[in-house]
Amino acid sequence: MNRVFNALDVARRDLAAQRNDNVLRVTRSTFRRRRRAPTTGASNESAGVWRVRLFLLALADQSVLPAPSESSRLSREGLGIPAHDQQAFVSERSYVKLSMTLLEFNSYVESLNSAQWVNAGTPEVFYRRSRLEQPNRNSFNDFLIDDSDEEKEGEDEAFGALESYVFPVEEVDLAVLLSDFRKEFVSDGLVSNICIRRKKLIESAIKAISRVTFCWNNSPYIEFVGEDGDDMGGPQREFFRLLMIEVQTSMGIFEGKAGQAFFTYDQAALDGHKYFQAGRLIAWSVAHGGPCIKALDPSLYQLMCGQEPQLEQFDCSVLPDPDVQSRAKRILQCKTAEDLSALQQDLGDWISECGVPGIFSATIGDIPKIYAYVVKHYIFLRTAKMVNQFTEGMNGFGNLWDLVRNNWIAFLPCFTDMRTPLTKSSFKAIFKYEYSPRGTNHREKEEDTIYSWELVLNLIEDKLSELTFEDLLIFITGADEVPTLGFPHKPSIDFYTQEAGMRRLPYASTCAMTLFLPRGITEEQELHDILKQSLKDSCGFLKV
């Protein structure tokens, strides 16, 4: 992703230097094919292709990209017909004319409704690499501009110059995959009542899905014991979020650091079908729009999907067993013939048991491959039965793992931790404000409150508060991030009037996804303190 961002930065500067040239010509020139500079000993193995969709944002300084659901909708509708056009009445202003100059193009952008996402028909940028690489491993400097086959002016096919390359099947957008899966398997209008005890969440969930009458296709209607809230979406989001945390931490089937989890080698858990149950619970959450675990080590995930990651560069410090860590480091530190002889004598039998009997006849040049084999044995082959039971559990719900395996790149954000913390701008973009009409007393007091709200968000962004944007999002929606398919509607911030002589704390409806703030708060510390108390005292639905 760093390469893409660097390429976009270069493109932005190039575009800024152009004034009167044709938009199509400038864009093609800027985003023409890039290739890796030749290196000695380069591999000839088939290269993966990454496709990046570029969307024109209505606001030039907008820092938040369209939500995945909005992005997929743009793609399904011919790369984006703006929302201001009715489906049956598409006007000319839905499209950028390729003959426009950049000045005309800027005027077009300024005429758009700033609340809408618009796709300008910009090209998709391709770049290739042999396998999925670790972030920041290579700089942008190892790419050169390929000017050997510049596109002819006037051609409409943006990628006509790439016909000499054979691209793999196009990677489908994750939101599209999940949306199609839900259309096929999830029953509209049918619900199953699920009774959950918060203190025994995993046990409650497993008992629910183990009932003879359980139907995973039905939408789960969650009832938390002792809480009277009706599930209009909020309890379900809360349940699946908590369930994924419990699957990672309480079932005993994962070990390792956060975001770099591996399967445990536990035969008792295998006999008890815990890996199978975990797969079912995860598939259940994903099928109904909930989160996935976002915890697997990226190399393990690729191996599970039938890929071959570059394990020669695997960071052994993430291995959960200190003894295995030490032995793996010993292999990496083998640089001389003397080192190799000592390694064969001290660890030869252990390496052989890892499926590398050739250690005793190996040379120094074989060390990277031996290290990769040992890593593969420990993180994948050793726990193959556990992995298979887990994937069988996921396939019990609509063969979901088969879908993941066939679209492994699209599902990367679901199974590995690719999240970035919410920023103030991305958090604000999630919400809309339910103001009173302008000119009213209520409106004046609401603007006082929102100014204090902005200052509270500044405190959070500057790390001067114990609160996080994720805490606020959970309090308001029950989810700690925007779901892949988006929220059913845009969350909002509304207001209420404090009654005389009473102090009412801010409150939220996770079903309506609305945060209610008191009107007339002029001090940010006051708003911060009552928000903090609300979040701290929130212990369940209708129990604040």
Give catalytic residues, as residue numbers: 511
- Measured CA to CA, the distance from residue 456 to residue 445 in angstroms comes to 17
Q: What is the DSSP letter of 466?
A: S
Under DSSP, the state recorded for 89 is B
Report the candidate in 105, 53, 47 with the shortest Cα–Cα distance to residue 76: 53
Encoded amino acid at 471, one letter: D
Position 497, amino acid:
T
Query: Position of tokens 């009997």?
Result: 357
Element (H, E) at 256: strand 254-257
3-class secondary structure per residue, 134-198: CCCCCCHHHEEECCCCCCCCCCCCCCHHHCCCCCCCCCCCHHHHHHHHHHHHCCCCCEEEEEECH
Cα atoms found within 13 Å of the Cα of residue 310, Cβ hemisphere only: 10
Token representation of residue 243:
């369930």
Give whole-number Cα distances, 375 to 256, 305, 354, 370, 408, in Å: 15, 17, 9, 9, 21
Q: Of 109, 3, 28, 124, nearest to 75 (Cα)? A: 124
With beta carbons less than 8 A apart as the criterion, state whether 321 and 215 touch: no
C-beta neighbour count of 54 within 10 angstroms: 18
Tally of CA atoms within 13 A in the half-sphere of 136 that contains its CB = 0
**CA pair distance 262, 272, nearest whole angstrom:** 19
What does the alpha-carbon distance between residue 48 and residue 351 come to, in Å, rounded to a whole number? 32
Token pair 């002016």 is found at 153
Closest to 270 (Cα-Cα) out of 258, 287, 253: 253
Q: What is residue 22's DSSP assignment?
A: B
- The amino acid sitting at 306 is G
**Calpha distance 452→456 (Å, rounded):** 6
| CA atoms of 259 and 296, how far apart (whole Å) | 6
Among candidates 153, 235, 161, 158, which has minimal Cα distance to 194? 235
Strands 219-224 and 191-196: parallel
**What does the chain come to in residues?**
544
Separation in Å, CA 339 to CA 96, 345, 346: 64, 10, 10
Query: Each residue of 257-295: b (16+ CB within 10 Å) or e?
Result: eeebbbbbebeebbeeebbbbbbbbbbbbbbbbbbbbbb
